Each structure stands twice: as structure tokens, then as C-alpha cells.
């Protein structure tokens, strides 16, 4: 049939053509054709439209060129390469940009300058970022050369007298005369490069200095090609013009030194600087890239003023600190509480650290650089140590303040102050030792703008230890400062919360809180945070020097005041709780007595007999999800009725269904408007509620599908051959966590459309495994190993003087026969595996499905286009897995729909879904229900598709998309919501089991298992799943950071994988037994370890360790052990170590040493008393030097000393004439090696101890398997729960107090009088006396109650102390810790009771007088008691 009224338009977009076909629909009579899914031909009245096939060109995705890597344009110096590389000046401005390689970029511009002088044919270059001049210069010139260096102009040669070019360079005549003997002419290249404000040509040293930069971002390059010009007798001169610089900034002439660091750095070696008002002259003795650096400095007047302020402040602080230390020493012997309280000890420790810091500051500043280098190193190390101690103790003060004010209760820690002391004094010592081992301490100078020294002291080496200064001082301070600031903020919140709660009781509470915070801020060192503001100007520098030097002149009373305020609030809460508890206990006994009955033995036996006769039947899990189980009383009105628009839509759907049944009578009825849970018919498109869930995990299709699969339970269709007659809302499905395949698809499609996917619900036919969620024939995705990319090793080029390999003397015939035999064995194995696979396939396919092709199923279709989906695919909602549209599990499609329209498939499904074309705009293949809908996706242009962007996803969170194309009724379903608890639980009842082919996957919700297990994969050898091969277990929220446990049941090998954060920095632990000295492999996070250990392999007789990043360049250590003399014990390495027989150590190459002196391998043969050394091989040699020492004891049997002889040291020197060492070198080297042998043996012993410690720790962790709980998890976090309950209790107590305040205190006594009788004066006096007497008795009873509790706590403490004295010898450390914890808590309760009793004694008379005054002023008694006033 021909095409009528067809118009073809060609639109060019990005060089490609798209063909848009607009057709009109034709009704015509045609011969009978087969319908897509029906078994028989359709009616003659068939809807047919001609189709013009269109072939879409595949989009070619060009990979990112990444020119800033410096590889693409490495040897390309044309205009495009220069401009392309110049873009990196701005792109590399961001720190940490992985697409930038500064070393390659800087090397590119250096090579370009050589290219200009050697190969370039152009004489000038003029670009926005680059100007250059190339000129041939005769080596026999008679005068100096001058060239202009104006940045916006191309350099040109000028005369000496021209002053219109303030930026210029002078090249001396001697530079070219020195080259006359080699060549008559040279090519000179002068370049001016604008490097921008990025990181290119900035260098590591400049990036570490705040405020430093390259002046005007201009770099001047001078080059003669490959001619290396250095050590000029007469230096060249470069003049830079600039504006007047601030007084605290200095200029320095530098050149780019490619030998510094890995990628080069600025250096001032060989250059001098001459300062002027508006210009600076640089004189250098070589040619390369030059620049003028702008750096901040302090002048001498400022330095002296700051030094005097610091000395005066430190002197004042030392006086107060000394007074504090002496006062504590006196009070420790005079007052008992100073011996046991930890707060004064912490204050004194901070005072001692600050006193010693100030003393070290005086010594360091006063001596300057006097003395030897060792003395200067020691002063710098001591000053650094006490500075870190002061920072540490400030952080510990903040930690102690947190325990006192924020946590308050349950804060007992055994040996608390001892542990704090280990941290306060030990941690800085470790840092100083590590820093000192790198030789980081030395002279440090502060210079002014004239580069003259204004202050010298012993500190970090100015040139070599800048990174150590930033890490160990600035970084360490930043950590302690942030922690102290956070704690101080919490304390401020607590104090002002208390102030607002007691606003009517005390005046000036806010001022008192402000003063308290000021004292606490000085105590925890928040004043040091002013250092962050010092770049703002000199004023902040003066403020910082003043406040930090006077830090400890404030008293720690503010901390004590804050603590007492919190304790007072806690005590009042306990009193109110006890009062309410006593009132409940007084009312409860009478009710309990009435309900209590005594059960005799006969009654119990009779009850047991009756219970045993009852038959308990466990009901089976319902296989259907009916509406009878749904509570529809609380459903909204949209669930129970239809709007006029919905009724109109249902009429349109019925009309469409009648036409479809008439045209295709052999097709099954369409699934258009099933009833919902309220028996109301709803159109399927309105059942979809597009919603973007507020969880980042549900933004991608894979995690979204997996959530739906895990969250819901599968309910099979009532009739596997028909679609269901009902379709419930997604809210109901989520509430009851069950549904059929249509419910699954509707929920998943709603979530995917909300996430901006082009998703559709599909009604079609699937295989039996797909409909029943039978995965026993599918391979578990977790068992599929990713393909490993085999990297081809690059063969090293053969050396010119390499040793020839030995001649191969094996028989070539025998080799060929062996190859044939191996190939035959391999072919036989492949044939056997193929037969086994075919047998399994036949066994699996033996069960045929009689309903194949007829089973109804629903799934989700995701079309390509949106969300960067490259190809359309299916999603099975039961399993959450994606399938290709060509998959054999999907046998046909009847229809599909989304929230906007409904489409009927008009294509033939004889080949399943493999030949279907999912172009929904093609009305021949897909008949749509509603007219005027949006354009088909495959026909949209890029300009028209701009409205499909997802920029407003966050703003439209949970909102329904607006349909602008057709007046479609809004979805009748309520907002889809998933609570955080349900999202975390995922699986119904927290557990789900999936059976795969030879595998079983079990999933649990977090925190459901007490060991943190969330997933377990068990693989089996057979299809019946009876023989276990291996088990993989995934964990979450473990305190020991265990993430995965892999158990191989065949080999018995266990592999534990840990996340970063394990106490021993453990990453992987492979073992067959937890017993010591067995085969095991431990891998560590080397960055978390001080020794740089990466891996440790252990066998019963050996131990191998691999290192990286050590200062001594040790890379490998292998220890051989001999047979143990004594019997093996659990702590054998400590009490009975294994004898060491041999230690082999290997080292990385040390570039600072010659290869013949840099040891590559060191072997200690302990039993043979020999030490073997092998040195690194030089690049130009084929063998390495070796040396062997034979050492004996220091004396013979007669006591005579043994003289070192040449035969005790056997050497092989590659170049014996280059290194002639004296004989004295050998005994010194031998003694040094003996000491290193002892150290290696000790380190091997420590490694054994560490293995035992790790094994013991792992056993404790496996026994405890404690879980971490987030502080935001208020339902699981006990602390948060206690806080919430405390707040509820306070609210309840306040309510009771308000009710009690409204009570009439005379009501109980007035009730005793006859009603209606007027009071007499005698009765009024008696009422007053009885009320006061009753109140007095209540005060006495309360005092007696507190006294009784006080005596009871005291007696129990005395009993515990007596028990401890009797059993002190036999107690374990755990019992001692329990005893100390009990004593601490008991003493705390006793102190609280004592305070309450004293407070009651003080307030009781006042309360009595207050009540008496109220009685005299009571309006009912005031007239009768006037005589007694």
C-alpha cells in the first residue's frame, strides 16, 4: 500500500541529518494479517500506516583529549598546540585537579624555548599569552646587547640609551665571546610568557607561602637552544618595572631550576637582586626562565615590638603559672580532695606545659643562633615539644570539660589522669622524635624587605623542613582548635539553656555565663585561633601576640562554675523524680493486693494439662493479597471516588477498548482500568505517581530497582494466564510490603519517572522462571568475577654490554613433544568440561513448561535518551535485574503505559521481543489511546528536548510532574513516602533469601544481627546445594571495621577484609588457624602505620615483611627461625621467643649515596657469624659490589683482644681503584653491622609480639562483635534515648509542680470543720498551728529519708571496701576496674546526698518561715490573726 500525504523534511544538526516523517492515517481494506500476539489473523478492518524506515547514525563519542596531562601536545609546537596547552594556565588553577600534570606542562614550555632556538623558522611570535623573538647573534660582537621585555609587545633589540622600555634585558658581550671557538653564530630565543594565576610555574615552595606570587604572572625565558650557559663571569641583567610595593612585601629574583623536586621549583642560586623605587634589577650567571617573586616579610621594628610584647606577656604568665603550680602543691597536702580530683591535676599539667613553653621561648629568643648546630637542633626540638604539649593539654582540657558539663554522668574512666598524661606528654614526644629523625630542626630567620635578617632563632630549618612545620604545627593546632571550639560551643549552649530555664530565680545569669565562657575560652586555648586572622594585617598580629602570651592569667573557676550549674539541674530532676515515684508507690499496694491470687500445685498441674490438649496450628503465609486485609477507613477521598475528569477518561478508555476488540477480536482484552483497594475503577496511567524519593541511593535505576525487589514480598497472580482485576495504589503496597508483578512495576515506574527516567509499565508474557521469580537457573551476580585487564610488560631494551645468556642445551624435539602433550591434556579437559556443561543444560531444560508463552507478567521498560541511557532495556521488578530487549525471558508485549498515555503493541511477537521497535511515535507499530500527547521521544530534536533537563529535581522533590501536553487527570494516589526506618529495614521482617544456581544469597537489615551481618553468599558444588564450597559474609557498622569475611570450606582458608580505621591498621587478614606461628598473611594500611608496613607473611619457620615509605628505605625483611628449645605456649614470642637463624633485608635505592656505597641487600647469618652485603648496581655496570664480614668474639680464651685482619672481610669491588678505603673502615663497619643485627633481631621479636597482639585482639573482637551507632540514630543510641527520656521527665515534673502550686495548703484542715460554719479566732489559731506542725513534720521526714539513704550508701561502700581488702590478692584486673568504677559512682552519690542534706537543712527554716508568713497573710485568717501579729 502506498503512502499518502507524506512529507519528508531534512534538518541538519551538528553535521548529521535527521529524517522526520509526518503521515496521515489511512483506513483501507487489506488481506488478513497476523496480529502481534494473537494466534490467528485479524479482521479485514485493520489499522495500517506505511512506514518509512529511518536509520539513526551512531553518535561517535570522542574521548576527552585532556591536553593538561601534557602528553598529547608534548612535541607539538604549532599554533593549535600552543593555544591548546595555554588553556591549562586557567584550568590548572584548582588545587587537586587530577587532569593536570604540572611537570609535563612546565617541561613543554622549556622544550618550546629550545625549539624556538633550534628548529623554529619564525622570528617572532605574538599571541595573547606569549610573545617571543628569535635572532641570530654573531659570537664576535663588540658590545653588549639590549632587548625590550614589554609584556604586551614582541621583544626587540634596543640601544642602551633608550628609556622608553623600562622592562629590558642586557646580555654581556662576554657571553657570546666564550662561544667563539665552537661556532661563529648562535640563535637567541627570548620569550615572555603569561602563566596566569594557576599552579603552572608556581612550584611547591611558593604554594606553601601565604600571599606569595609571581609578579604580574610574567616569566621571561632566555635560551641558546641546547647550549648550556652557566657560570658567566659577567652576569646578565634583567630589569623589571613595577608599582610601589607595600612595606611588608619583598621582591626576589629567581630562576626555574628543573633539578629541584620532581617537577622543578624556583631558586635564587646564582642570582642577585638590586631594589629600586619602581623597578628591580636581577643579575644572574646563566640562561633559563626568570621571574620576580613577591613575598610577605616583617620589618625589624615590627619584629622587635612583637618580641617585646611576647616577652612581657610570657613573663607575666610565668609568674601566674608558677603561683598556680606552687598553690596546687600546697593544697595537695593540706586538702584531701586535691589528691583525688582530676580537674586540678589537668589544670596543673597545662600550667606546667605553658610554663616550660614560655621558658623555652625566652631561651630560644635570647640565645638566637649561638652555640653549635647540635645545641640549636636541641633548642628547636625542645621548643617544638613544649608547644605541642601545650596544644595537647588544651585539647585534653576541652575533653575533660565535655565530660564535666555535657555528659556529666557515667564518665568514670580507669586510671583517667594516667591515660591523659600518656597522651599529653607522649604524643608530642612521638611527633618530635619523628620530626627530629628527619633532621628538620635548625636555624630559622625572619627577614625584611631588604632581605636582611630581623630575628634568628632555632626552629624548623628554613629551606628543608617547611612541610614538617605545616604538618606538625599548623595541622596539629588546627585539629585541637576545632575540637576545643566545638566543645566550647556545646558548653555555651548548655550554660545559656540553663540561664533561660532559671531566668526568674537569679539575676545577672547571662552576664555570669558570658564571663564563664570567656574564662573557658582562655583555658582551652581558643585565643590561639586568632592566628587565623593574622593575614588581615599587623593589628591582628599584635592582638594575637598579646592574648596568647597572657593566656593562663585567667582562673579555671569558670569550668567549676559551669559544672556546678549542670549538677544543680540534674539534682533537682532527681528530687522531682523521687517525689513522683514515692507518690505512685503509696497508691499502688492496695490495688495489687486485690488482684493477687495464690496458685496451688494442683491448679498448676490442671492448667498444664489443659494447655497440652490445645492443638496449635501454624498458619501458612497467605499466597494472595486481598482487599479484605486492607483497612480502607482511613483512605482519602480520591481512593473512594472518581472526579469528573477521571470519569471522562474512563469513558474514553471504554470506547478505545470496544474499537480495539472489534478490530482485533482474537487479541486478549486490554488492561485499562482495574479496580483499586476501594473497588473503584481507576485508569492505569493515573495509578502511577511520579515521585523523586528523598534518598540519594534511589536516584539511579539500579539501586531503585533493587530497593523495590528487596522491600516487597511477591504475591503470585490469581490466574497466571490473565492480568489481575485489581491494581492497588503504591502507598498501600508499601504499607503492607507485598504485591504482584503489576504492583511491583507500578511502584518502580513511579520512582523511575520521578528520577527523570523515560520509564513505562509493560503488560506482556514472560517465562516461567521470570513469573515465579525462580533464579535457580541464573548465576548470582556476586559470583561473577570481573575481567582482569592483563597489562603487557614492557621489555627493557637490551643493554649494549649485557652478558650473553647461557646456551640452551635442551632438545628441541623433546620440547615440541612436551608442548603437544600439554595441548592434548588441555583439549581433553576442555572436552570434558563441555560435555559436563551440555549434560547440565539438558538436565535443566528437561522440565518443559506447558504454559510457555501464555504466562502473564508485568515489568518496566526504560527507553534511551533521558538520564544518559544509551540503550533501551527491561527491568524485572521481582529481582531488580536489567535485561536486554533481546532476552529470551520476555516472550511478548500487549501494551505499555506511563503517567501520560497508553500504547498498544501492533507488532508481531513471533520472535519474542527481539524484533520490536520501541518508537512510540510510530502509530503503525504502537497505537496510542490519547490524542494530542507529547512528541515521540525518538523524533525530538535537541532544541525541543531542552525541557527534559533535570535541573529542578531537588525543588520538585516528591511533587507530581505537570502534564502540559494533554489534560490528563492528576494521579489519585497519595504522596509516596518511605520512612527512614522502612528504608533501612528494606526486606520484610528484615530478612530475605534468594536461591541462585549453586548459590544462596541471604540479606538482613542493618543492626538486625548483633554481629553486624547484612549479607551472606553461600556457593555450592552441586545443583542440589548440599556441598558448600565457600561463604562470603558482608558486615556493616562494626567497631572493628570488619567489612567482608571470605571462608573457603575446601582449603580452610579464611580471609577478613577491613575498612580503614582498625586499631592495628589491618586491611586484609588471611589465615587457616588463629593459633600463633601458623601460615597467615596480614596486609595493612601503610599510611596509618608509623613503620610503613604493607604486608606480613608468616609460616611456622619464617616471617616476611614488606615496607614502603620508610626513612631508612627498608623494603623487605625475611626472618628464618630455628627449632624452639622449649615447648610452644600462647605467649611464646614474649616468654620463649623462637631462635633467629637468618635475617635478610632489602633496601630501595638511595639517590643521595653512590651505588657502590648504597646497600641493596643485607643478610645476617647468625649461626655462622657472618654478615653479607650486596650493594646496588650502577646503571653503567652489569654487576654489583659485594662484601662479607666474618666476626668473632672480642677476645680469645686467654683474654687477648683479637686484631682485625684482612681475611675477616671479603670484598668484591666493581671499581677497586675508585674507592680505596683504609683498614680502619672495616672494624667500624663491622661494629655498626653488629649493632644493626641486634636491632633487626629486636624488630623481628617485636613483629612476633605484634602478631600475638593482633590475634588476641581479633579473638576479643569476634567474641564481642560490638556495633557502632550514629549519634543521629536516636532510637538505637542509648545516650540520645536517655537524654530524650530526661527531657520528658523534666516536662512531667514541671507539670506536677504547676499542679501542686495551685493546691490549697489549708484545704485538708478546713475539711475537718463543719461545712458552712464561720471560723472563730481560736479555730484560726488551731488551723495555723496544725498546718505549721504538719509542714514541719514533712520537712523532718524528708531529712530523715535523705539521711537514711546517705547511711545506706555509706554502709554499702564500707562493705565493698572490706571485701576488696580481703580479696585484693586474688582479684583480676577486670574485677579491680569494676571495684574502682563502683567506688567512684558511690562516692559521687554520697557527695550528692550530702549536698542535698545540707541544702535541706539550710532551706527548711526558710520554708517554715515562708509558710508561716503566708498563713498570716491568707485572706481567710488575716482578720482573725491580727492580734497575734
Q: Specify the pLDDT at position 1325.
A: 83
Q: Is the pLDDT of residue 235 over 60?
A: yes
| Rg (alpha carbons) of the chain, rounded to whole number | 44
CA 1140 to chain centre: 42
- CB-based contact 1056:1074 (threshold 8 Å): no
- Residue 680 CB contacts under 8 Å (≥ 6 apart), including other chains: 639, 640, 641, 642
| Bridge-based pairing state of the strands 145-148 and 213-214 | unpaired
Give phi and psi for 745, each to the nearest 5.
Answer: -65, -40
Q: Is the pLDDT of residue 1424 over 80?
A: no
Q: How many CA atoms lie within 13 A of 240 on its CB side?
A: 26
**pLDDT tens profile 958-1003:** 444 444 445 678 999 999 999 888 888 888 888 888 888 889 999 9
The fraction of the chain above a pLDDT of 70, given in percent, is 74
Give phi and psi for 1269, each to the nearest 5.
Answer: -125, 130
**pLDDT tens profile 424-443:** 899 999 999 988 888 888 88
1388: confidence class by pLDDT, cuts 50, 70, 90: confident
- What's the order of all strands across the beta sheet hosting 279-284? 157-158, 145-148, 168-171, 236-241, 279-284, 271-275
Q: Is the pLDDT of residue 1352 over 80?
A: yes
Q: Specify the pLDDT at position 30.
A: 31
Which stretch of DSSP H or E encloses residue 384? Answer: helix 373-401
Instruction: Give mean pLDDT, residues 1339-1366.
Output: 90
**Residue 1353 φ/ψ region, left for φ over 0, alpha for ψ in the -120 to 50 degree band, beta for the rest:** alpha
Average pLDDT, the chain: 77
Residue 294 and residue 314: Cα distance in Å, rounded?
33
Instruction: Give mean pLDDT, residues 211-238.
Output: 82
Residue 802 and residue 795: Cα distance in Å, rounded?
14
What global pTM score does this model have? Answer: 0.46
Residue 521 and residue 488: Cα distance in Å, rounded?
7
Question: Which stretches of 438-537 are DSSP H helices?
Answer: 466-469, 476-501, 509-523
Residue 820 and residue 219: Cα distance in Å, rounded?
67
Taking alpha carbons only, the member of 758, 765, 759, 757 closest to residue 741 is: 765
Taking alpha carbons only, the member of 1039, 1083, 1078, 1077 closest to residue 1057 is: 1083
Angle at 1184 between CA 1179 and CA 1189, to 5 degrees: 150
Q: Specify the pLDDT at position 1085.
A: 94
What Å distances lie between residue 235 and 145, 171, 229, 288, CA to CA?
13, 8, 11, 13
1397-1423 burial: b if 16+ Cβ within 10 Å, else e: beebeeebeeeeeebeeebeebeebee
Instruction: Give mean pLDDT, residues 134-162.
Output: 83
Q: Specify the pLDDT at position 25.
A: 32
Q: Specify the pLDDT at position 1119.
A: 95
Query: Under DSSP, is residue 894 helix (H, G, I), strand (E, B) or coil?
Result: strand
1060: confidence class by pLDDT, cuts 50, 70, 90: very high
Give phi and psi for 1411, each to the nearest 5.
Answer: -65, -40
Q: Specify the pLDDT at position 49.
A: 27
Q: Specify the pLDDT at position 541.
A: 63
- Lowest average pLDDT, out of 271-285, 511-525, 799-813, goes to 511-525
Cell numbers representing residue 275 in the block: 631594589
Instruction: Give mean pLDDT, residues 758-762.
Output: 95
- CB-based contact 997:1007 (threshold 8 Å): no
- Lowest average pLDDT, out of 410-419, 896-905, 952-961, 1251-1260, goes to 952-961
Taking alpha carbons only, the member of 21, 56, 38 closest to residue 923 is: 21
**pLDDT tens profile 323-346:** 878 887 777 776 656 666 777 888
Q: Specify the pLDDT at position 949.
A: 45
SS (H, E, C) 678-723: CCCECCHHHHCCCCCCCCHHHHCHHHHHHHHHHHCEECCCCCCCCC
Residue 1321 and residue 1309: Cα distance in Å, rounded?
15
Cell numbers representing residue 491 in the block: 558548653
Residue 1006 and residue 1017: Cα distance in Å, rounded?
16
Residue 372 and residue 378: Cα distance in Å, rounded?
10
Q: Specify the pLDDT at position 535.
A: 54
- Lowest average pLDDT, out of 100-109, 290-299, 1401-1410, goes to 290-299
- Residue 997 CB contacts under 8 Å (≥ 6 apart), including other chains: 775, 776, 777, 778, 779, 780, 1023
Residue 1220 and residue 935: Cα distance in Å, rounded?
89
Residue 782 and residue 997: Cα distance in Å, rounded?
12
- Residue 309 CB contacts under 8 Å (≥ 6 apart), including other chains: 542, 545, 546, 549
Cell numbers representing residue 204 in the block: 611547591
- Lowest average pLDDT, out of 287-301, 401-415, 652-666, goes to 287-301
Residue 1134 and residue 1126: Cα distance in Å, rounded?
13
Give phi and psi for 852, each to the nearest 5.
Answer: -65, 130
Q: Specify the pLDDT at position 543.
A: 64
Amino acid at each position: 500500500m502506498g503512502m499518502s500525504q507524506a512529507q519528508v523534511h531534512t534538518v541538519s544538526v551538528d553535521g548529521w541529518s535527521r529524517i522526520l516523517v509526518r503521515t496521515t492515517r489511512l483506513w483501507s481494506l487489506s488481506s488478513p494479517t497476523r496480529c502481534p500476539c494473537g494466534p490467528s489473523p485479524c479482521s479485514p478492518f485493520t489499522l495500517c500506516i506505511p512506514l518509512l524506515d529511518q536509520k539513526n547514525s551512531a553518535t561517535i563519542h570522542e574521548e576527552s583529549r585532556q591536553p593538561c596531562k601534557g602528553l598529547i601536545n608534548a612535541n607539538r609546537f604549532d599554533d593549535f598546540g600552543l593555544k591548546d596547552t595555554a588553556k591549562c594556565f586557567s584550568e590548572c588553577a584548582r588545587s587537586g585537579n587530577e587532569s593536570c600534570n604540572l611537570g609535563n606542562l612546565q617541561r613543554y614550555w622549556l622544550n618550546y624555548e629550545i625549539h624556538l632556538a633550534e628548529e623554529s623558522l619564525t622570528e617572532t611570535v605574538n599571541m595573547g599569552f606569549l610573545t617571543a623573538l628569535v635572532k641570530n647573534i654573531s659570537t664576535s660582537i663588540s658590545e653588549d646587547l639590549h632587548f625590550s621585555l614589554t609584556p604586551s609587545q614582541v621583544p626587540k633589540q634596543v640601544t642602551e640609551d633608550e628609556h622608553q622600555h623600562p622592562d629590558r634585558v642586557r646580555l654581556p658581550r662576554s657571553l657570546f665571546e666564550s662561544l667563539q671557538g665552537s661556532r661563529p653564530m648562535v640563535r637567541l630565543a627570548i620569550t615572555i610568557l603569561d602563566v596566569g594565576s594557576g599552579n603552572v610555574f608556581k612550584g611547591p615552595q611558593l604554594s606553601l607561602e601565604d600571599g606569595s606570587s609571581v609578579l604580574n604572572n610574567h616569566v621571561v625565558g632566555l635560551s641558546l637552544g641546547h647550549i648550556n650557559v652557566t657560570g658567566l663571569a659577567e652576569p646578565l641583567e634583567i630589569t623589571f618595572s613595577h608599582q610601589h610595593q607595600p612595606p611588608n612585601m619583598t621582591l626576589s629574583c629567581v630562576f626555574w631550576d628543573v633539578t629541584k623536586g620532581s617537577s622543578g621549583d624556583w631558586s635564587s642560586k646564582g642570582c642577585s637582586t638590586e631594589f629600586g623605587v619602581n623597578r628591580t634589577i636581577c643579575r644572574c650567571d646563566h640562561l633559563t626562565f626568570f621571574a620576580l617573586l613577591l613575598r610577605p616579610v616583617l620589618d625589624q621594628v615590627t619584629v622587635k615590638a612583637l618580641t617585646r610584647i611576647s616577652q612581657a606577656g610570657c613573663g607575666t604568665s610565668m609568674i601566674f603559672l608558677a603561683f598556680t603550680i606552687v598553690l596546687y602543691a600546697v593544697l595537695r597536702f593540706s586538702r584531701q580532695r586535691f589528691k583525688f580530683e582530676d580537674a586540678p591535676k589537668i589544670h596543673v599539667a597545662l600550667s606546667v606545659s605553658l610554663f616550660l613553653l614560655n621558658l623555652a621561648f625566652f631561651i630560644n629568643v635570647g640565645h638566637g643562633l649561638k652555640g653549635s648546630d647540635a645545641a640549636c637542633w636541641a633548642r628547636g626540638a625542645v621548643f617544638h615539644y613544649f608547644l605541642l604539649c601545650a596544644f595537647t593539654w588544651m585539647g585534653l582540657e576541652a575533653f575533660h570539660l565535655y565530660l564535666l558539663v555535657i555528659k556529666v554522668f557515667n564518665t568514670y574512666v580507669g586510671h583517667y589522669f594516667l591515660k591523659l598524661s600518656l597522651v599529653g606528654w607522649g604524643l608530642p614526644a612521638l611527633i618530635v622524635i619523628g620530626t627530629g629523625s628527619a633532621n628538620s630542626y635548625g636555624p630559622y630567620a625572619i627577614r625584611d624587605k631588604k632581605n636582611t635578617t630581623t630575628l634568628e632563632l632555632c626552629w624548623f630549618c628554613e629551606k628543608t623542613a617547611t612541610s614538617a612545620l605545616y604538618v606538625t604545627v599548623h595541622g596539629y593546632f588546627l585539629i585541637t582548635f576545632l575540637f576545643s571550639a566545638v566543645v566550647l560551643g556545646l558548653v555555651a549552649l548548655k550554660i545559656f539553656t540553663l540561664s533561660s530555664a532559671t531566668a526568674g530565680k537569679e539575676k545577672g545569669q547571662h552576664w555570669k555565663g558570658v564571663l564563664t565562657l570567656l574564662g573557658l575560652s582562655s583555658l582551652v586555648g581558643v585565643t590561639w585561633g586568632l592566628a587565623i586572622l593574622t593575614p588581615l594585617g599587623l593589628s591582628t598580629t599584635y592582638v594575637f601576640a598579646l592574648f596568647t602570651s597572657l593566656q593562663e592569667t585567667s582562673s579555671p573557676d569558670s569550668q567549676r562554675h559551669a559544672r556546678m550549674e549542670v549538677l544543680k539541674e540534674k539534682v533537682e530532676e532527681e528530687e522531682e523524680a523521687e517525689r513522683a515515684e514515692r507518690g505512685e508507690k503509696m497508691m499502688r499496694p492496695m490495688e495489687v493486693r486485690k488482684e493477687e491470687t495464690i496458685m496451688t500445685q494442683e491448679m498448676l498441674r490442671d492448667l498444664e494439662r489443659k494447655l497440652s490438649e490445645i492443638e496449635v496450628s501454624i498458619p501458612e503465609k497467605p499466597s494472595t493479597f486481598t482487599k479484605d486485609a486492607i483497612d480502607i477507613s482511613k483512605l482519602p477521598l480520591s481512593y473512594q471516588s472518581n472526579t469528573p475528569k477521571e470519569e471522562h477518561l474512563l469513558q474514553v478508555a471504554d470506547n478505545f477498548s470496544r474499537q480495539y476488540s472489534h478490530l482485533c477480536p482474537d487479541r486478549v482484552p486490554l488492561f485499562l482500568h482495574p479496580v483499586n483497594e476501594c473497588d473503584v475503577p481507576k485508569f492505569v496511567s493515573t495509578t502511577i505517581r511520579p515521585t523523586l524519593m528523598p534518598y540519594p541511593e534511589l536516584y539511579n535505576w539500579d539501586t531503585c530497582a533493587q530497593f523495590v525487589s528487596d522491600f516487597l514480598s511477591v504475591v503470585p497472580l490469581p490466574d497466571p494466564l490473565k492480568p489481575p482485576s485489581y491494581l492497588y495504589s503504591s502507598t498501600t503496597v508499601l504499607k503492607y510490603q507485598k504485591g504482584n508483578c503489576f504492583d511491583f512495576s507500578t511502584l518502580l515506574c513511579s520512582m523511575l519517572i520521578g528520577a527523570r527516567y523515560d520509564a513505562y509499565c509493560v503488560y506482556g508474557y514472560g517465562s516461567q522462571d521470570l513469573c515465579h521469580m525462580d533464579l535457580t537457573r541464573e548465576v548470582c551476580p556476586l559470583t561473577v568475577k570481573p575481567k582482569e585487564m592483563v597489562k603487557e610488560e614492557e621489555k627493557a631494551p637490551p643493554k649494549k654490554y649485557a652478558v650473553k645468556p647461557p646456551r640452551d642445551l635442551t632438545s628441541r624435539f623433546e620440547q615440541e613433544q612436551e608442548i603437544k602433550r600439554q595441548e592434548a591434556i588441555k583439549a581433553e579437559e576442555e572436552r570434558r568440561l563441555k560435555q559436563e556443561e551440555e549434560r547440565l543444560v539438558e538436565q535443566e531444560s528437561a522440565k518443559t513448561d506447558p504454559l510457555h508463552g501464555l504466562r502473564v507478567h508485568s515489568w518496566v521498560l526504560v527507553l534511551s535518551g533521558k538520564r544518559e541511557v544509551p540503550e533501551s532495556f527491561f527491568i524485572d521488578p521481582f529481582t531488580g535485574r536489567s535485561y536486554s530487549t533481546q532476552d529470551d525471558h520476555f516472550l511478548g508485549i500487549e501494551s505499555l503505559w506511563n503517567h501520560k498515555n497508553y500504547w498498544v503493541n501492533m507488532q508481531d511477537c513471533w520472535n519474542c521481543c527481539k524484533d520490536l521497535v520501541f518508537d512510540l511515535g510510530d502509530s503503525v507499530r504502537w497505537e496510542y489511546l490519547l490524542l494530542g500527547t507529547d512528541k515521540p521521544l525518538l523524533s525530538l530534536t535537541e532544541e525541543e528536548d531542552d525541557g527534559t533537563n533535570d535541573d529542578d529535581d531537588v525543588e520538585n522533590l516528591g511533587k507530581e510532574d505537570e502534564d502540559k501536553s494533554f489534560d490528563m487527570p492528576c494521579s489519585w494516589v497519595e504522596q509516596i513516602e518511605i520512612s527512614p526506618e522502612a528504608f533501612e529495614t528494606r526486606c520484610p521482617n528484615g530478612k530475605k533469601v534468594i536461591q541462585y544456581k549453586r548459590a544462596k544469597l541471604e540479606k538482613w537489615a542493618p543492626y538486625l544481627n548483633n554481629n553486624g551481618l547484612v549479607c551472606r553468599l553461600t556457593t555450592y558444588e552441586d545443583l542440589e546445594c548440599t556441598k558448600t564450597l565457600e561463604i562470603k559474609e558482608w558486615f556493616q557498622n562494626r567497631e572493628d571495621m570488619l567489612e567482608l569475611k571470605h571462608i573457603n570450606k575446601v582449603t580452610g582458608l579464611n580471609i577478613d577484609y577491613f575498612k580503614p580505621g582498625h586499631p592495628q591498621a589491618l586491611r586484609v587478614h588471611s589465615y587457616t588457624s588463629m593459633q600463633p606461628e601458623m601460615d597467615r598473611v596480614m596486609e595493612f594500611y601503610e599510611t596509618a602505620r608509623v613503620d610503613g608496613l604493607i604486608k606480613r607473611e608468616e609460616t611456622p619457620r619464617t616471617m616476611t615483611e614488606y615496607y614502603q615509605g620508610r626513612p631508612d628505605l627498608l623494603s623487605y625483611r625475611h626472618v628464618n627461625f630455628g627449632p624452639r628449645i622449649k615447648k610452644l605456649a600462647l605467649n611464646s614470642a614474649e616468654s620463649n621467643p623462637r631462635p633467629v637463624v637468618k635475617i635478610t633485608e632489602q633496601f630501595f635505592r638511595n639517590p643521595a649515596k653512590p651505588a657502590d656505597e648504597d646497600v641493596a641487600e643485607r643478610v645476617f647469618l647468625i649461626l655462622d657469624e657472618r654478615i653479607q652485603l650486596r650493594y646496588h648496581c650502577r646503571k653503567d655496570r652489569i654487576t654489583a659490589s659485594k662484601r662479607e664480614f666474618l666476626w668473632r668474639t672480642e677476645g680469645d680464651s686467654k683474654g687477648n683482644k683479637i686484631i682485625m685482619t684482612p681475611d675477616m672481610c671479603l670484598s668484591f669491588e666493581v671499581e677497586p681503584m675508585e674507592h680505596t678505603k683504609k683498614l680502619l673502615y672495616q672494624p667500624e663497619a663491622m661494629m655498626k653491622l653488629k649493632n644493626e643485627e641486634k636491632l633487626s633481631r629486636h624488630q623481628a621479636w617485636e613483629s612476633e609480639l605484634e602478631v600475638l597482639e593482633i590475634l588476641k585482639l581479633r579473638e576479643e573482637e569476634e567474641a564481642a562483635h560490638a556495633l557502632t551507632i550514629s549519634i543521629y540514630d536516636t532510637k538505637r543510641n542509648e545516650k540520645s534515648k536517655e537524654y530524650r527520656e530526661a527531657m520528658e521527665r523534666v516536662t512531667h515534673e514541671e507539670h506536677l509542680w504547676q499542679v501542686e502550686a495551685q493546691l490549697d495548703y489549708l484545704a485538708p484542715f478546713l475539711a475537718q470543720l463543719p461545712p458552712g460554719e464561720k471560723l472563730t479566732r481560736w479555730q484560726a489559731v488551731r488551723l495555723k498551728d496544725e498546718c505549721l506542725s504538719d509542714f514541719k513534720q514533712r520537712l523532718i521526714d524528708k531529712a530523715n529519708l535523705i539521711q537514711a539513704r546517705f547511711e545506706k550508701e555509706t554502709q554499702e561502700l564500707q562493705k565493698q571496701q572490706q571485701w576488696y581488702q580481703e580479696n585484693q590478692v586474688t582479684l583480676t584486673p577486670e574485677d579491680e576496674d569494676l571495684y574502682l568504677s563502683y567506688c567512684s559512682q558511690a562516692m559521687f552519690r554520697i557527695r550528692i546526698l550530702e549536698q542535698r542534706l545540707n541544702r535541706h537543712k539550710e532551706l527548711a527554716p526558710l520554708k517554715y518561715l515562708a509558710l508561716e508568713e503566708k498563713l498570716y497573710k491568707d485572706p481567710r485568717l488575716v482578720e482573725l490573726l491580727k492580734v497575734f501579729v
